Structure 1
Amino acid sequence: MALAFLVVGLGLTGCSKKSETAQQGTEGAGVAESLETPDTGIMEGRTSGPMVPVYFEFDSSTVTGEQVQRIETNADFLKKNPDISIRIEGNCDPRGTQEYNLALGERRAQSAKSYLVNLGVKANRLTTVSFGEEKLLLFGHDEISYAQNRRDDFVIVK
């Protein structure tokens, strides 16, 4: 009988702690925590938000396809914010020589600059630099990595 009393007593004690813990969990929830990430000013690649990088085909410096809309988005942002200047950073994937990739990165940056100027952004607000293959985002040796590294980043400098 004492054994039965002990088992029942331990069982009740265990249950009360569980419900107490469960109640504490719901009471502690209180204020809902936001799932949104803080705005760091950076969205994709090394591009300052809300602008977006522009990606290029292999061995190309021509803005084509859906990249046209991306550069138009950047132009709209720059036209709405006339006090902002940016640096256009040309990047390449690691294939090709260092010299070739620096030249291709420069052509990519100049291509984006010309496109923005044609869309009405003043040229004196835009500078360019080529990093070639020096600032990779992805270090894989596959097409996804290469495609992410063939880009222009748009970085706010002022």
Structure 2
Amino acid sequence: MNEKGLLIHKHFTPKLYLALKNLFIYIALIGLWVWTVNMYAVFGTGWIKFAVALMWVAGAIAVWGIPEEREQTIKETKWAVFGYVLFLVLYRLVIVKFSQFSPDQVGVSLGVNVPVASATSALGFAQNILMIVSILTPVGFCLWVGQKFKVNQGRKKKDEAFSKYKGIRRNP
């Protein structure tokens, strides 16, 4: 254990340990992304690959454009991409499992009669949720990045205005 409470080998410096840890996290995240794209076949290569790349690019632009918030933006981008990809993986696993049951099996488990049309529409509803979430999450992330720029510009203008007015007050 080192002074920060990290369990590391005696030949590793804390900086090297953190760099290797971050590298592993990003490699694992990219691997999960590629796996998800392949899992979703045409939808994955047509949309998910583009959506995640869009989120990475938007995060990179924010890191470049707002250097004061670099560390926080990097973390937020990483977790946003991870949450999005993890949701897609878990959602697909649930949908695959859910689609294995017939309306009769669902009806027996619930103790009610489930018409075939209802079961079919439930699966269609689940697909619509996938489409909505898979599109709105990257769009929402990009809007969030845009909002960061707006807030940053507003803060700069406010600081400039205050410094201007302070200068006027001091030098009448």
Highest CA radius of gyration, 1 or 2?
1
The answer, yes or no, to whether TM exceeds 0.5 is no
Which has the larger share of strand?
1
TM-score normalised to structure 2 length = 0.22
Q: Identify which of structures 1 and 2 has the higher relative contact order when contacts are C-alpha pairs closer than 8 Å and 6+ apart.
A: 1
